[in-house]
Chains A and B, each alone.
Chain A
Amino acid sequence: MLPLGKQVILLDGGFGSELERLGLGEAVPEELNLTHPEAVRAIHKAYAEAGADIITANSFGLNAVKYRGSYALADLARAAVENARAAGKPVFFDVGPTGALLAPVGTLTFDEAYSAFAEVADLTRDMVDGYIVETFSDLYELKACVLALKEHTDRPVFATATFDGSGRTLTGSTPEIVAELLEGLGVEALGVNCSLGPKEFAPIVRRLLAATELPVIVQPNRGLPRLVGGKTVYDLSEDEFAAWTEQFVAMGVSVIGGCCGTTPDFIRRISSCKGRAVPVRSAQKGTIVTSATKLVAIENVKICGERMNPTGKKALKEALAAENYDYLVSEALRQEEAGADLLDLNVGIPKIDEPAVMRRAVRAVQEYCDLPLQIDSSDAAAIEAGVRQYNGVPLINSVNGEEEVMARVFPIAKKYGAVVLGLTMDSRGVPRTAQERFAIAQRIVRRAEEYGIPRRKVMIDTLVLTASAEQALVSETVRALSMVRTLGVKTALGVSNVSFGLPNRPLLNKTFLAMAMTSGLNMPILNPLDGEMTGAVRAYNVLANVDEGAAEYIEAYRDFTPAAQTTAAVRREGTTPAADLYECVKRGLKGDARALTDAELAQRPPLAVVNDILVKALEEVGALYEQGKLFLPQLIASAEAAKEAFAVVGSRLEKKEGGRGKVVLATVKGDVHDIGKNIVKVVTESYGFEVVDLGKDTPPERIVEAALRIQPLAVGLSALMTTTVRSMEETIAALRSAGVPAKIFVGGAVLNEETAKAIGADYYTANALEFVRTLERLSE
C-alpha cells in the first residue's frame, strides 16, 4: 500500500522524450508496447531504478476515440501493463484525453466520451493498481473519464489537468473549479501536469492546495518548450527542477514527478523528497457550485433564478411538452443578464420522460449559459440524469426530512459531489414552529453526513408559507433561518410564495426578502427579471457592508432616474427612438418594435400592419442591401426588429391569416459552422415564416424525421467545405428516398448553381435575402 497523503510519493517522468532519445519518436507510442516491448520496459525500468514509487503504463492514447491504429485496444492495453509490471513497482494505467473536442465546439458527446473511457476501465481493471488520468484540458471530458473509471473499477484514480499561463484550462476552468469537481467525484489525488514548467505552475499549485484537502499531484514539464531547428528543446536543469520540486513539497504537494522533457535523471534527482512526511492542510471551503467556467460560493446573498420552472407558467409548460429547448435557453440568458448567480432548472410536467427531458435541457442550457444550475425535480431519476450530464458541480433541489427521499437522493449527491438542498418538512408536512423545522434540518444534515456528504455541501430551505393563509408562521420561517445557520449550513427560500393571494405582491415580496436576508438567508430563489427584488439584494449588500464602497450598487444605478427605469434597458446609447414602426424596422431598432407594433395595431388591422408596414420596410431594406447602400449587420438588425413585430402581430392574426409556412433549416452532419445558417434563419423569420432550426452537425435521419413530421415548405441545408458538401448530398438523397415533398435549398461557401444541381438540390441561394425571396415565390 502506498502511503498516499501521509508521505511524499514519487511518480515517473516524461515518456515521449525518452522514446525520442531511443530513436522511436516517430512511432505511435502505444504500439511500441507490442512492437518494441524491450524499449518500453527499459524506460520503465530506468524510472523504477531512479526511485519512482509508481510506474505509469505507456497507454496515454489508448481509447477508442483517439487510437486509430490496426492493433486491438485490448492487446495494446495488456502489453502496456505487462511492460510496466516488469519494473517491479505498482502500475497505474495512464488515461489521456480522447483528443476530440466535446460538442458544441466539437462533435463528440459526453456519453460517447464516457463510453470510450468505460471501455478502457473494463479492459484493464483486473490488471492494474490504479489510474492516472492526465493532461485533460476540458472539465467535461475529465468528468466523463473519472466517472467512467469510478463506475467501472474500484482502483484509485489520480487525476491531473493542464492549465495555461492564464491559470485556466483550455476550456476556461480554474484550478478551484477543477479541484471542486474532482474532489466531488471521489478521486484519490488531484493535480496538475504538462503544459508549463514548474515556475509557471507555482501559482496554480498554490491555488490547488488551497482548494482541496486531497493529496495534490504536480508533474511539470522541464520548463517551457522552445523550438530550435524544428526540434522541441527544454532548458531547465536538473538542479532547477529539483529546487522547484522541493518548494512544491514544502508547500504541501505530496505526489511529485515530471512530464515532457524530464528523464530518469530528473526523477532520481528529486527522489530525495520521497517518503517525507506531508503536512496536514485544511482547505477553508464553503458551499460551492460551479459551471465549467464559473464558481459561485454561496455566501452573503446569491440569487437563484426561478424562471426555468413550469409551475404556473403556461408558455414554459408548452415549450417543454414540445421539447422546445430554445425557450429554456432564452429564459436562462435573460436571467443571467438580469444578475442571477445561479439558475433553477425544473422540467417536471405530466406525461413526459422527465429524465430524458432533463438531460437534454441541461445540455441545451449549459451550451449557452455560464451560470451554475440547480437541478430541481421530485423524481430521483430525473435528478441523476441532470446531475450526470451537467458540466460542473450543481445544486440538487431537493430532499426533505423523509427517510425514503433522503435514501433516494443522497447517494446521487454523494456520487457526483453535488450540493443538496434540504427542505424542512417531512411526511407530516411543514411543521408550524421554527423549532420543529430546525429539528428536521438537523436530521437532514446528520443523515447527509452519514452518506459521506460534508456539511458544507448541504443547504437548508426553511420553507415560506403564504401570509394570506398562515400569517403567524411567516416569522417562524425567518426565525428558523437563523437557527439553521447555527448548524454551519447555508440557507435558501422561495421568497415570492409569501405574497400569494394578497394585493401588491411585489411590496410584500421585497419586504419579506429584506427580513429574511437580515436573518441569514443566503440564497433567495426569485425572479431576477423583477428589478425590485434584485435591487433589494443589491441594497442589502450595501447596508450589510458586503458590497465594498457600494461599488456594484453604484455601477448598477449610476444612471438611475425614476423615469429612466422602463426605457433605459432597451435602447443603445446615442440612438434616437424610431418615429414609427416602418422606421423602426428600417433602422433595426429591435427594442422599440413591440411598443410601436402595439401602437399600429390600435389603428389598423393586423394584416395591414404586415402588408403595409413590415413587408414594405423589409423590401426597402432588402433593396438597399442589394445596392450596397446598407450592409449585413443592418440587414440583420432590421430582420430582428421585424421579427419582434411579427411576434406581436402574430398573436392578433386569425389562424387562417397567420403564418406564411414552415421551413426546416440545418447545418449538415460533420459541419460545425453555423453562422450562415443562423443569418438565413433570422432573415427568414423576419419575413413571417416559421423556422424550425435543427442546429449544426445534424445527421440526415434527424433532418428526414423533422421534414416528415413538420411538412415544411422547404428544407434549407448549409455546408461550409467540400468535405461537408458530400454530407449534404447524402442528406438530400435521404430526403428524396423518404419521399419528402419539400423543396430543398442549399447554401454555403463552396456551393454554386452547378454543385447544387449535381448533388440533387432544387435551389441554390447565395445569401439570406435570395433564400427568402425564392421562398416567397414558392409560397405564393
Chain B
Amino acid sequence: MNSSDLYKSACSYLGVRGAPDKGTLALVEECLAEAMRLARFRAIGKEYTAPLAFLAKQPYTQFLAGCTGYALVAMTLGAEVERRVRVLMRTDAARAVVLDACASALVEHEGDGWEERFGEIRTYRFCPGYGGSSIADLAPIFHELHPEKIGMQLLPSGLMAPQKSMAGIVGIGKRAHKTCGDCMLFKSCVYLKEGTTCFRSENR
C-alpha cells in the first residue's frame, strides 16, 4: 500500500465514494499527515509451525490449510492519535472524524508493511471476529505474545486498547486475500450494497 492507497482507505472508511470535493480532499491529506506524525506504531509477533489449541477449529483450520506455518501478531498505533481525536472532537469534530479514519487506515498500512518479515508468500492478517470466529480468541493471542509490552491491553469486555490496535494470525507459505465472507458485517455491509468493498481487492 502506498500513500495514495492510504488515502483511498481513509476515504473509504469515511464513506466517501467517487471523487470528494476539494475541502474534504485537503482535510484528509492534512489528517493523514497528522496521523503519521502522531503514530507510534509498535508490533509484536511470533512464528509457529504447530497449531496452538485455539486454532484447531474453523474457520482457522481452513484459513491455515496449506500453510507451512503461521505467525501470531499484535500491533498498535499507540494512544497519541486517540488523544488527539478526543481533543478534536471538542474543537473541530469534522477533523476528529477524519483523523480517526486516517488512523484506522494507517494502522492497517503499517501492519501490512511490518508483516513483510514473515516472507513474500503469506496470507493477509486474519483477526478474531472474522469469518464467524469469536473475538474471545484474542485472549490466547494475548497470552502468547504479551502485547502489554507494547502498550496494548485486552479489556475484560474483549475489546483492545488503545483503539487503533489489531491482533491476528498471518498464514505463512500460501497467499490469501481478504474477502467479504470473513466479515462480521457481511449481512449488513453498506459497501457491498453498492458493489464495492472497504478494502482493496488485491490486499493479500
- Are B185 and A750 in contact (CB-based, < 8 A)? yes
- A631 adjacent to B20 (CB under 8 Å): yes
- The answer to whether B159 touches A671, judged by C-beta atoms less than 8 angstroms apart, is yes
Q: What are the interface flags for A103-126 relative to B under an 8 Å C-beta threshold, 1 for contact and 0 otherwise?
A: 011110000000000000000000
Interface stretch (choices A491-499, A636-644, A707-715): A636-644
**Shortest Cβ distance from residue B80 to the other chain A in the assembled complex, whole angstroms:** 6
Known: A166-B40, A170-B78. A633 touches B94 (CB 8 A): yes
Is B57's CB within 8 Å of the partner chain A? no
Is the Cβ of A368 less than 8 Å from the Cβ of B86?
A: yes
**CB-based nearest A residue for B129:** A721
In the bound complex, residues from chain B placing their C-beta under 8 Å from that of A230 are 46-49
Residues in A whose Cβ lies below 8 Å from that of B24: 631, 633-634
Residues of B within 8 A of A720 (CB): 159
Interface contact A670-B153, CB-CB below 8 Å: no
B135 to A721, Cβ gap below 8 A? yes
User: Which among B97, B162, B187 has the greatest number of chain A C-beta atoms within 10 A?
Assistant: B97
Contact between B90 and A670, CB atoms less than 8 A apart: no
Q: Does the CB pair B96–A678 fall under 8 Å?
A: yes
How far is it, in angstroms, between the C-alpha of A611 and the C-alpha of B96 when the chains are bound? 29
Q: A438 to chain B: closest CB distance in Å? A: 42
> CA separation between A423 and B59, bound complex, in Å?
69
Contact present for B129 and A106 (CB under 8 Å) = no
State which of B26, B28, B46, B97 has its C-beta within 8 Å of the C-beta of A636: B97
* Chain B 46-89 interface mask (CB, 8 Å, partner A; 1/0): 11110000000000000000000000000000111011011101
B156 at the interface (CB under 8 A from A): yes
- Give Cα A721 to B100, complex, Å: 18
Contacts of B15 in A (CB 8 A): 631-632
Known: A101-B153, A101-B162, A670-B159. A628 touches B93 (CB 8 A): no
Asked if A137 is at the interface (CB within 8 A of a chain B CB), the reply is: yes
A107–B157 Cα distance when bound, in Å, is 10
The minimal Cβ–Cβ distance linking A8 to chain B, given in whole angstroms, is 29
Q: Kindly report which residue of chain B lies nearest to residue A751, judged by CB atoms.
A: B188
B81 to chain A, nearest CB (A): 11
Contact A723 B86 (CB under 8 A): no
> A73 to chain B: closest CB distance in Å?
19
- Interface pair A752/B98, CB less than 8 Å apart: no
Complex Cα–Cα for A633 and B28 (A): 9
Judged by a CB distance under 8 angstroms, whether B4 is at the interface is no
**Distance in Å from the Cβ of A241 to the closest Cβ of chain B?**
21
- A679-B47 in contact given A105-B161, A367-B86, A673-B163 (Cβ < 8 Å): no
Decide: A633 and B90 in contact? CB cutoff 8 A. Answer: no
A727 at the interface (CB under 8 A from B): yes
Chain B residues lying within 8 Å of A724, measured Cβ to Cβ, are 157-159
Question: Interface size on B (CB < 8 Å)?
Answer: 58
CA distance A124 to B62 in the complex (A): 50
Which of A99, A634, A721 contacts B21, CB < 8 Å?
A: A634
Q: Which residues of A (619-654) have their CB < 8 Å from a CB of B? A: 628, 631-634, 636-637, 639-640
Interface residues as binary, B133-172 with A (CB distance below 8 Å gives 1, 0 otherwise): 0011000000000001111010111110111000000000
Q: How far is the CA of A329 from the CA of B89 in the complex (A)?
A: 12
Q: What is the total number of residues of chain A having a CB less than 8 Å from a CB of chain B?
A: 57
Shortest Cβ gap from A722 to chain B (Å): 7
Whole-angstrom distance between the Cβ of A24 and the nearest chain B Cβ: 16
For residue B91, which residues in chain A have a CB less than 8 angstroms away from its CB? 333, 337
Give the nearest-CB partner of B49 in chain A: A230
The answer on a CB contact under 8 Å between B14 and A672 is no
Of all chain B residues, the one with the shortest Cβ separation from A625 is B15
A70 to B8, CA, bound (A): 49
In the complex the two chains form, is A172's CB within 8 Å of B135's CB? no
- B157 to A632, Cβ gap below 8 A? no
Bound CA–CA A672/B26 (angstroms): 29
A639 to B49, CA, bound (A): 53
A675 contacts partner chain B, Cβ-Cβ < 8 Å? yes
The answer for the CA separation of A673 and B98 in the assembled complex, in Å, is 15
B184 at the interface (CB under 8 A from A): yes
| A588 interface residue (CB < 8 Å to B) | yes
For B135, the chain A residues whose CB sits under 8 A away are 721-723
Q: Does A330 contact B (CB under 8 A)?
A: yes
Q: How far is the CB of B27 from chain A (nearest CB, A)?
A: 6
- Max chain A C-beta neighbours (<10 A), residue from B20, B26, B96, B161: B161
Is A691 interfacial (CB-CB < 8 Å)?
no
Would you call A333 and B98 a contact (CB within 8 A)?
no
Does B153 lie within 8 Å of A100, measured CB to CB? yes
Q: Check if A682 is an interface residue, CB within 8 A of chain B.
A: yes
List 6 A-B residue pairs with CB atoms under 8 Å apart, sorted by A's residue number: A166-B40, A368-B83, A369-B87, A634-B94, A675-B85, A721-B157
- 5 new A-B pairs (CB below 8 Å) besides A107-B156, A671-B159? A105-B79, A171-B79, A631-B24, A670-B156, A672-B159
The 9 closest A-B pairs by CB, nearest first: A670-B157, A170-B151, A723-B158, A637-B94, A636-B94, A230-B47, A105-B79, A101-B153, A633-B94
